[in-house]
């Protein structure tokens, strides 16, 4: 079950709401950055969110992508 995160970004005329969905939970920052590099190389914006603040590189990280790009991520994951 994936979690969905929302973020509001101000626009000149109105607000745009972006929905981010959790694709993976990485065991540490290094693995999270590897996932991020893979997805961004395919043109998919990716965000990393630590599960607990203050644990540094040892913390588990949520790998988030825009909800509208989830189907592309599923295709990428099937290929690897």
DSSP 12-28: SSSEEEEEEEEEEEESS
State the distance between the two ends of the chain, measured CA to CA, in whole angstroms: 21
pLDDT per position as a tens digit, 10-54: 445 555 567 999 999 999 999 999 999 999 999 999 999 998 776
As for how many domains the chain has, the answer is 1
- Whether the per-residue pLDDT at 1 is higher than 60: the answer is no
Domain extent for 55? 4-79
């Amino acid at each position: 079950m994936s979690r969905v995160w929302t973020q509001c970004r101000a626009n000149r005329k109105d607000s745009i709401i972006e929905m981010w969905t959790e694709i993976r939970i990485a065991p540490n920052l290094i693995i999270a950055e590897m996932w991020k590099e893979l997805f961004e190389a395919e043109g998919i914006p990716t965000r990393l969110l630590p599960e607990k603040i203050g644990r540094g590189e040892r913390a588990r990280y949520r790998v988030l992508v825009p909800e509208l790009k989830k189907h592309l991520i599923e295709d990428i994951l099937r290929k690897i």
